[in-house]
Amino acid sequence: MRLVLAWMLPYLRYGRTGRAGSESTNVHVYRDALRSIKTAISALKRRQAGVQTPGASYKILAKRTSMSTSTATSDVVTTDRYYSVPSDAEPDAISGEFAKKLKYYAGGVWRESKTSKYMPCCDPSTGAVIASAPQCTAEEVEEAIHAAAKAFPAWRDTPVTKRTQVLFKMKQLLDEHLDELTYLCAQENGKKWDEAAGDVLKAIEVVEFACGAPQMMKGESLMNVSTGYDTVQFREPLGVFAGIAPWNFPAMIPQGWMAPICIATGNCMVLKAASFAPQSAMRIAELWKEAGLPDGVLNLVTTSRNEAEILLRHPDIKGVTFVGSTSVGKHIYSTAASNGKRVQALTEAKNHALVLKDAVIERAAQGIINSFCGCAGERCMALPVVVVENFVADKLVEAVTRLAKEVNLGPAYDKSTGLGPVVNQGHKDYVLGWIETAIKEGAKLVLDGRNPKVPAECAKGTFVGPTIFDHVTEEMSCGREEIFGPVLCVKRVDSFEEGLQLMNNNPFANGSVIYTENGYFAREFVRRTDGGMVGINVGIPVPLAAFGFTGHKQSFFGDLHCMGRDGFLFYTETKNVTSTWFTGAKIPAKISTWDGTMTR
């Protein structure tokens, strides 16, 4: 009860003073307070009855701290949040809590959508509905684009050193809100606690990297390129970019891979967050405003593919960055490029690891478990296929299976959980469908994760346990196409050469890994693999932001990759300035065809 009273204090302190705004605003504040008190009392009753709401105590604390657009200790209270709770809302049947009605963000204001279509957002650990995301109308998408275009001239003209001050403040805020954002990511996506924290920390990593914009945006110059002539090259922002984000990394991708470098280089952005899991991106958008980002520089919508098409064709959009499936990525690349836009499309993967007979098998098995079970396999740098030399194949399969059986499933926000759920029921059905396909294709099912043991409170969650198939062949689609779940396919070969060729036959080439103690084979692998991100005894070879994310083949469409040097090139264009001055110089009697810049 002390937690409940503590959470009420901001309302009791400011409700009558009008600190939150108008009288009608204060009515909403009181109403929100009453709803949240009811929620807390409901949770307490459930706890007293022996029914534990996963993370309930943290939820009460998170609501209290998130009431402020500043830090948890701020006295500023506002109702301009990324969500509301309708007055006629009913508590969820599973959690006993009220689902949030989410908004869209345009011109620095969170707005209620006029759409009649909302998509439910569920907590995959329990199946409870935690929010509903608007499928924004075409007019609302246009509104977000217009707000970004309007904000661009002033933001472009803001000195880069002042722009980076916003990013320094943003990094501080993200650090301060790390636990809150970790919980939100775990709750809406299903990543276990340390994975969800990594999702947020990877976003922070790119914010830190983008703070180096003054160095990364520097151009080049050469004095006296011809007699009396100098040339200087600048890098300048283009305008408004669209970021179309997936659901599997709700913080890292939209607010790490997409927004920070775009903003640091002087551009504006319209983010399309994933409707399944948009709250992490929305909460971080609130922090951008608190960090001092001018209104309109960052805008955020959730919408269907139909309205998202506007982002690919609108004349005010200068470039599109996308992460998702290969089929959609191809469409986005071809459509946006044909409309004169820059595009980077990061798409599917089917990463393979080659395990040689000299590998340290137990350590390789540990790396493989982390790589195919981590994030429930829902990442494009997962390791869903292992190619192993026959000499050690049985030993490796035994080790991986033994370790996989030790993985405990549970609520994503429980720090003792070893494997969280997949994102929702639809995706669970998709993964289970692939398991059925693999069985029909003749793969040997070594470990079946279709009916995993989970805690009682997770009975309605969307869990798939670690699943292992052995003797997968090239003819089987389960070993070629992306499953995006905790499913491992083992392929057996007789030699390094056979294994490398098998791996390179795959149409995708995000990452590739080799487990070996042999320096010669490691070097040959690095030199000859098609994978764009290579690990030597490293199962998830994701580079730091400074190096970029360099997928190849059908895993990437575009010319400039995400993050790294490529990231700054993608969000800027080159301007060359050649000059000469006449005062005090001898004016030539005749001007050449090349106006003096030709030296021969």
In the predicted structure, residue 542 carries a pLDDT above the cut 80: yes
Predicted confidence at residue 36, as pLDDT, reads 52
The distance in angstroms from the start CA to the end CA of the chain is 86
pLDDT in tens, 383-417: 999 999 999 999 999 999 999 999 999 999 999 99
What is the pLDDT at residue 589? 74
- Confidence at residue 15, expressed as pLDDT on a 0 to 100 scale: 37
Give residue 23's pLDDT: 37
Is a pLDDT exceeding 90 seen at residue 67? no
Contact 402, 372 (CB under 8 A): no
Over 470-532, what HEC string results?
ECCCCCCHHHCCCCCCCEEEEEEECCHHHHHHHHHCCCEECEEEEECCCHHHHHHHHHHCCCC
| Catalytic positions, written as ranges | 380
Q: Give the span between the Cα atoms of 511 and 535, in whole angstroms.
A: 8
Mean pLDDT of 28-37: 50
CB burial class (10 A; 0-12, 13-18, 19+) of residue 381? buried
List the one residue out of 205, 330, 326, 324 whose CA is nearest residue 261: 205
Identify the pLDDT of residue 70: 33
Question: What's the rounded Cα separation, in Å, for the pair 266 and 264?
Answer: 5
Q: What pLDDT is recorded for position 592? A: 83
**What's residue 50's pLDDT?**
42
The encoded tokens of residue 490 equal 């083992």
**Which segment of 24-38, 197-211, 336-350, 392-406 scores lowest on mean pLDDT?**
24-38
Beta-strand relationship, 104-106 and 100-102? unpaired
Q: What is the pTM of this model?
A: 0.88
Cα 132 to the center of its chain, rounded Å: 20
For residue 105, list its beta bridge partners: 110, 300
pLDDT tens per residue, range 235-293: 999 999 999 999 999 999 999 999 999 999 999 999 999 999 999 999 999 999 999 99
- Give the mean model confidence (pLDDT) for residues 542-550: 97
Of 571 and 24, the one with more pLDDT = 571
- What element of type H or E holds 387? strand 385-389
Task: Go through the chain and tell me how many residues it has.
Answer: 600
In the predicted structure, residue 422 carries a pLDDT above the cut 60: yes
* Predicted pLDDT at 341: 98
Does the domain made of 352-548 have the CATH classification 3.40.630.10? no
Distance CA 331, CA 345 (A): 10
The rounded distance, in Å, linking the Cα atoms of 321 and 344 is 5
Could you give the CA distance from residue 510 to residue 215 in angstroms, rounded to a whole number?
29
Half-sphere exposure of 489 (CA within 13 A, CB side): 30
* pLDDT tens readout for residues 515-534: 999 999 999 999 999 999 99
Q: Per residue in 167-191, pLDDT tens?
A: 999 999 999 999 999 999 999 999 9
What pLDDT does residue 14 have? Answer: 34
Residue found by looking up tokens 């395990």 in the block: 355
Region 536-546: mean pLDDT is 97
User: What would the mean pLDDT of 416-437 be, rounded to a whole number?
Assistant: 98
Q: Report pLDDT digits (tens) over 299-332.
A: 999 999 999 999 999 999 999 999 999 999 999 9
> What DSSP letter does each residue of 19-77 carry, written as one string?
TTSSHHHHHHHHHHHHHHHHHHHHHHHHHHTT-PPTTHHHHHHHHHHHTSSS-TT----
Which superfamily does 98-106+117-347+555-581 belong to?
A: Aldehyde Dehydrogenase; Chain A, domain 1 (3.40.605.10)
Q: Position 180: which residue type?
A: E
**Of residues 312, 314, 244, the one with CA closest to residue 562:** 244
For range 346-355, the mean pLDDT:
98
* pLDDT > 60? residue 376: yes
List the domain boundaries for the chain: 1-80, 98-106+117-347+555-581, 352-548
- d(C-alpha 432, C-alpha 449), whole Å: 9
CB 478 within 8 A of CB 469: yes
At 585 the pLDDT is 66
**Residue 586: exposed, middle, or buried by beta-carbon count in 10 A (0-12, 13-18, 19+)?**
exposed
Residue 130 and residue 123 in contact, taking contact as beta carbons nearer than 8 Å: yes
pLDDT at 8: 43
Task: Enter the tokens of residue 555.
Answer: 């895993």
Radius of gyration of the chain (CA): 27
Percent of the chain topping pLDDT 90: 83
pLDDT tens, residue by residue, 142-164: 999 999 999 999 999 999 999 99
**H-type helices in 190-316, by residue range?**
193-210, 213-216, 252, 259-264, 279-290, 305-313
- At residue 598, the pLDDT reads 82
Contacts of 152 (CB under 8 A, 6+ apart): 237, 239, 240, 267, 268
Instruction: Give pLDDT, residue 371.
Output: 97
Q: Give the mean pLDDT of the chain.
A: 89
What is the 8-class DSSP label of residue 542? P
What is the pLDDT, as a whole number, of residue 79? 57
Query: Which band of pLDDT confidence, cut at 50, 70 and 90, is reported for residue 600?
Result: confident
